Every structure is written in structure tokens, then in C-alpha cells.
Amino acid sequence: MDIKLGQVVKGTGFRGLVKIGEPELVANDYSLNGADELCFLNISASSSNRSLLYRAISRVAENCFVPLTVGGGIRKAKDVKNLLAAGADKVVINSAGVLNLGLISECADKYGSQCVVASVDCKAVNGAWEVYTHGGTRSTGVDALECVHKSVQYGAGEVLLTSIDKDGACGGYDLVLLRTVSELVSTPVIASGGAGDLVHLALAIRDGGASAVLLASLLHYGKCTISQIKYFLGRCGVMVRDDYLRYGLYDE
């Protein structure tokens, strides 16, 4: 869930944002319907939006009982401390981590690698993948593979890997990128950017080597339910949490 000015929004290629709804309502719906984890990304770096995010996370944490991963606009260890205090279980470090790997190391030392997620947003440029920061607006010239490798070396416990080229296009994840990164590091890699069909999720795990899949459009626009996703993945041989079986959540 991308958050801007206190609202859940969705765009394509990080642009053309449309409002989806109130964070608490969207989060409650997904958690009740079987989401394994909720990911909130603050896509506005303003201090006012960070305050809105903290309040929203506090309200969500009071009512949801699934892990909350939160990020966006984190520049120092104190920001991580504030998000954890607000109710986050894991914190995503994006732009600041690319520019300052020491921040990842400091946060991993203080709060544990298990709660530090390195977020890498990248585009295909001249046959390679280049890291873009600040919501995908700034080219860094940094090679994405090098960035991922160093982030893990410095203590990141997970990698959230987003293909900006694929984001919101609903044409599937960048499987070549996913496979390359998942073979590069031993930490879990979360696929992000491009899910538009149930088969895309299975391919990201089976062919891309992802440990988990992050998705937005499929759920935001009501194309399927979480129970349908889990049922489909289970039929594809992917290990999933079986809440939909235990509680009869699967709907045809």
C-alpha cells in the first residue's frame, strides 16, 4: 500500500496516482481476508506526511494481527525507532540506504537484521539495472545488483525488489531481474512491480526465485481475493499459509 497524504494510492511506473482508500479500512479488509503481511510505503517525503503515516500505522496496528512492514522517507536510525514504536514490525529503507549503507548497518545493529528491509527500485538501462531513488524520480548511476549485494552485506534481512518498468503495468514481474538477484543473495527477496494475473505470482516464485510476492493492483481493483490467490498458488505447488482452508475463506 503506497501512502500519500494519509491515503492509499496506486499508480503506474510510480506515476498517475489514484486514491484507493483510507489505510485503516484497506488494511483491515486485507488482514481479515488472509494477507500474510501488510506493506505500507510512504511515497511523500514531507514531514507532515510522515506524521500522518505514524498515526495511520498506530491505528492499523491496534486492529490488525499480521506483521506490518513500513517505509518511505527514512533518513536516520531515529526514524526507524519511531516507526517501530508506532507499531511496525519491519522497516523498509530505500533512498537513504542506497546513498548511505552505514544507515542499514546502524539499524541492523540497533534493532536486528530481521526488521531491516532494503528496498531497491530499479529500471533497465543499457542492458543492466540501475537504481532510482526518491520514488523512482532520480537516477543514481548505481548498479542494482551491486546495491542489493552491499545492502545484504551491511545487514539487511530482506530485499524488496521493485521493477519500475513493470510497476502497475500488470504484465508480470521482471523474472530475469528476480532470478538474477535471488541467486546473488541468500536473504529472502520479495518480488514487486507488475502482478496482473494469478499466474504472474506463481512464476515469480517458481521461475524468479522470489520468497514472497508483493502486489497491489490485483487486490486494490478487485480482480481477485487473497483466498483465491492462496488457493491458486497451492494448486501450483507453492507453499502457502492455509488460513483459507482452516477457516473456509476460499470463495469460488
Residue bearing cell 506490518:
68
- Per DSSP, 113 falls in state G
Long-range contacts of 22-30 (CB under 8 A, 24+ apart): 23/56, 23/57, 23/59, 23/60, 24/56, 24/59, 24/60, 24/63, 26/1, 26/220, 27/1, 27/60, 27/63, 27/64, 28/60, 28/63, 28/64, 30/219, 30/226
For residue 197, indicate whether it is catalytic.
Answer: no
Question: Do the beta carbons of residue 113 and residue 155 sit within 8 Å?
Answer: yes
Cell numbers representing residue 248 in the block: 473456509
d(CA 181, CA 173): 13
d(CA 1, CA 216): 7
Q: Count other C-beta atoms under 10 Å from residue 187's C-beta.
A: 18
Catalytic residue (choose from 29, 36, 121, 243): 121
Name the strand (E) or helix (H) holding 11: strand 7-12
For residue 251, indicate whether it is catalytic.
Answer: no
Name the strand (E) or helix (H) holding 94: none
Question: Do the beta carbons of residue 141 and residue 171 sit within 8 Å?
Answer: no
Rounded to 5 degrees, what are φ and ψ at 204? -60, -35
Catalytic residues: 2, 121
